[in-house]
Structure 1
Amino acid sequence: MNCEEIKLKIGIRRVLESFHLFPIKENQKTGSYYAIDREEKIPSLSVDYVKNKAFDFGTGKSYDVISIVQQMNQCSVSEAIKYLAKFDFSQQNEFQYEEIVPQKNYNIVNVNDIKHPALIQYLKIRKVSEYKNLVKEIEYELNGKKYFGIGFFNNSQGVEIRNKYSKICLGKKDVTMIKNKINVSTEIVIFEGFFDYLTFRKLEKQEINNSDYLILNSTAMLFKVEKILNEYNKISLFLDNDANGKSVSLKIQGQFKNVEDCSFLYRDFKDLNEWFCKQVL
C-alpha cells in the first residue's frame, strides 16, 4: 500500500474522528471544522469528503489524510503511515462506495411489497426475510436503464437501495426516524444501516416495544438529529465495529447522558447483522 493509495482509501472524516475532531456543520459532501493547528472560534477548515482533502482558509494550507496525522501527532510520513495502518484498508471511503443519485437523474417506476425471488433470497442470506414488510421492492430507472432493489425510505423521501450488487441512495440522503406508535418513548435505539435495524427487530421478538428507532443511513447524518437526541432519557447504540463507528459512538457518549454502547455484543464482527448471520444456521 503506497502513499497515494492510502490517501484515496482511508476516509478523511474517519481520520479526523480518530483524533476526536468533528464537524461544526456539514452536508453530504463537505464539512466545516475548527483548524487543527490552532485554537479558533470560527471554523476555517473546509473538508471535502468526496475528494478526501481539506483546506484551511486561515493559512492557505491543504491537507490529505497523511498530512493531517503528521500535523496532529507531529510526526514523519512513515510514522503517519504506521498510525493509519490501524484503519481498515478494505473499507473504501464511505463517500466513494455509496453512490448518491440526485432527483433529476432517476425515476422510481414502482414501489411494491417484496416479491422478486432474488430480493427474497438476499433477505434470506441476511437472515431477515421475516421482516420484509418493513422494506419495499423498488423498481427504478437510472441513466435510461431499469433496475430493482430492496428499498428503505428516509425522512426526506430519499430511498436507500440495496441488493446483492449495489448500494446506492436515490434522492436526498437523510436519517430514518421510526417513532413508537403506541406510547411516547423516552428511549431510542440507533443503528447505522437498515439491515442492523431489521436484525434488531428480529432479535427483539415482540410486536409491542417501548423504544423509538433511528437509522442514520450514514454516520455523516448524525448532525441532523443531535438536538432530537436530547429528548431521550436512554440511548442505545448499535453502530459498526470500525474506526468510524467507534468515533461516532464516542462523540454521542460524550455529548449525551445514559448512553449504552451495545457493540460489545458483536465485538468480533463488523456489525450486528454480520454477527447474527454467523449465529443462525
Structure 2
Amino acid sequence: MEEILSSLGYHPTKQSQKELWFLNPFGDETQASFKIDINKNQWFLFSDGIGGNNIDFVRRYLNCSVKEVLSWAGERNFFSFHQQTDILEPTYKINEVSELQNWNLKKYLKERGLSSKIYRYLHEVKFIMNGKKLYAIGFKNDSGGWEFRNSFFKGSILKKDISLIKNGCQNVCVFEGFIDALSYIEKQDLLDVDILVLNSVSLINKAIETLKNYNKISLFLDNDKAGIKCKNEFITSFPEALDYSHIYQNYKDLNEYITHEKPQIIRVVK
C-alpha cells in the first residue's frame, strides 16, 4: 500500500512503526483519516468507514474492475500484486546472502548502464516469498530491510527505511531509488559525497530529519508527478538545496539518462 500511494503522489502526514496516516486520497480533507496498518498491509478510511487491501484500494481509486487493476499494477511492476491472496502479509524466508555472482543479475545491471564498479554496494539474495523460490539483487536499508531488483520485478521485504551511504562528508546527494544512486556513483572518478536513497517517497519526513546534518544538498529525483512533488517538499525545507533534475530533463530519471546518453561523468557543485 505504501508503494502504491507513493506512486500516486501521496505522502504520510504522520507515521509510527506500525501505522501510516494520510489525507483521504478519495476526496478533500484537512485531517488525516486514511490509515495503513504496515504489518498487515491493509488500509482503513475512518471518514467513510471503509477499508481493504491493495486491490480494493485501486478498484475504488480508479473506479475499475479487478482485471483492470491487475493490468494497471502489472504495467507498473508492483510486486505486492503478483500473488495477493486473502492472507495479506506475505511469507518470506531469506536462504542466502552473498556477493553478487549470478550472471543474469550482472547482465541486468549492465543493461542499466552499471558496471562492476558498483557491485560492492549490493548483494545477491536468494529467498522464498509466498512459497516461490526467487533470487535478486539486494540493496539494504538502514533498518535491515531489503530492496530487490531483477529483470522481472522490483520489491522489498522487512521494514522500509532510507539508505545512507556515508563517506564522512558534509555534502549529500539524494535519490529516490538505489538504481539512480548507483548510476551517479558509476559516473564518479571519486565518490566525495554521502548518498541518501529514499527507497520510497513516503519516507521523505525521515529523510528531511537526516538531511539537517548536512551543509550542502543535491537532489536527483524523478521527473514524474511524485518526484516533482517530493523535490518541492525538500526545497521547501531546504531552500539552499540544488536541483539537478535538469541534467536528465528529457528522461524519467537519472538511470534512464545514463543508459541512453552515456555521459562520462556527472558533477555537482562542491
Q: TM-score, normalised by structure 2?
A: 0.73
Q: Percent identity?
A: 30
Other-structure match for 2:166 = 179
Residue identity in the other structure for 2:149:
R
Q: Does residue 226 of the first structure (1) align with residue 216 of the second (2)? A: no
Change in 2 beyond 3 A, CA 1:96/1:234: same
Change in 2 beyond 3 A, CA 1:268/1:108: same
Pick which of 263-272 and 107-116 moved more. 107-116
Other-structure match for 2:78 = 97
* Among candidates 106, 109, 122, match of residue 123 of structure 1: 109
Other-structure match for 1:193 = 177
8 Å contact kept, 2:23–2:29:
no
Other-structure match for 1:45 = 33
Cα offset, 1:44, TM superposition: 3.9
Other-structure match for 1:132 = 119
Cα offset, 1:187, TM superposition: 1.5
* Among candidates 14, 22, 28, match of residue 25 of structure 1: 14
Residue identity in the other structure for 1:31:
W
Q: Does residue 213 of the first structure (1) align with residue 195 of the second (2)? A: yes
* Among candidates 241, 246, 271, match of residue 223 of structure 2: 241
Structure 1: runs of 5+ lacking an equivalent? 1-10, 69-89
* Among candidates 110, 135, 149, match of residue 148 of structure 1: 135
Cα offset, 1:26, TM superposition: 3.4
8 Å contact kept, 2:143–2:159:
yes
Other-structure match for 2:246 = 264
Whole-angstrom CA distance in 2 between matches of 1:95 and 1:276: 21
Pick which of 27-36 and 163-172 moved more. 27-36
Equivalenced residues, count: 239
> Aligned Cα RMSD in Å?
4.0
SS at match of 2:187: helix
Residue identity in the other structure for 1:191:
F
Per-residue Cα deviation, 1:205-228 (whole angstroms, up to 9, x for no partner):
21x51x211111111111222222
8 Å contact kept, 1:187–1:212:
yes
8 Å contact kept, 1:44–1:56:
no
8 Å contact kept, 2:163–2:198:
yes
Pick which of 92-101 and 251-260 moved more. 92-101
Q: TM-score, normalised by structure 1?
A: 0.70
Structure 2: runs of 5+ lacking an equivalent? 51-56, 62-70, 264-270
